[in-house]
Amino acid sequence: MSLNHDVIGVESEPVEKSWTSKDTLLYAVGVGAGLDDPTRELAFTTENSADVRQQVLPTFAVLAAQGARGRDLGDFDRAMLVHAEQEFRLHRPLPPAGTVRITSKVTGIYDKGSGALVVSEALAVDPDSAEPMITSRSSVFIRGEGGFGGARGPGSDWKVPDVPPDHEVTYRTRPEQALIYRLSGDRNPLHSDPAFAARAGFDRPILHGLCTYGVTGRALLHTLAGSDPARFAAMSGRFSAPVFPGESLTVSMWVDGDTAMFRTAKQDGTVVIDRGTATIDPG
């Protein structure tokens, strides 16, 4: 088994991706919107509530920018692949239903010793005007594919501030959260099939990293942006530990102007999203 390094820098053919009001509503419920109090977050979970206009959770941008596929990454065991990092920038708020044209490419494959880090970037534009709507960057870690002698990749100077967080918010997840979230498109059996999860070293299916990311994004949106998606410009974070459906997540936030640093942790203190940053427009 080996990765195909020739894919680096090769841009995919453009593809169009559309979504409906139902897709954005389902995504919101899939990342926990309305849990505990169905009358909260109605702007994201309903389209016909009195005096409430449907809006889209900013983290849906990650799903909206997926779809383009470049050249084959190579031959490897898909059970050894985990989502490592995710970043997006919204160039304008997303509509409840819409279409984008997407191109993507692998920007680097880095040797981490025990595995390989594959970094990709996607650009989603308005198909009519070609104006950018979403820039998305992500990386996956593939265990067992390192040791090829390549560069380790760029470092990061992110560190936990030496002051208490300005905000801490705790959201719980449902025991069946992964079964709901998978209906938004990620049918990886790691999140539903106990036998597949066991191959990856887990005693039961784990929650999608992007579901944890979406729960975190809700906390940032409501705490820092006044629940206004138009103020939510960008978000990035590194997945550092698995989450099991039903666990609660606490998001700690340190605010500096229009930038916030954050970490998401389980109730036992295990950090599950690390090195987080978000950009919030003042409004």
List the catalytic residues.
186, 191
Cα separation, 174 vs 244, whole angstroms: 10
The secondary structure element, H or E, covering residue 216 is helix 209-224
Strands 167-172 and 132-143: unpaired
Dihedrals φ, ψ of 19, to 5°? -140, 160
Place of tokens 């801490």: 168
Cα separation, 11 vs 132, whole angstroms: 16
Residue from 249, 278, 264, 283 nearest 88 by CA: 278
Cα separation, 51 vs 227, whole angstroms: 16
Cα separation, 39 vs 44, whole angstroms: 11
Q: Which two tokens stand for residue 258?
A: 């229009």
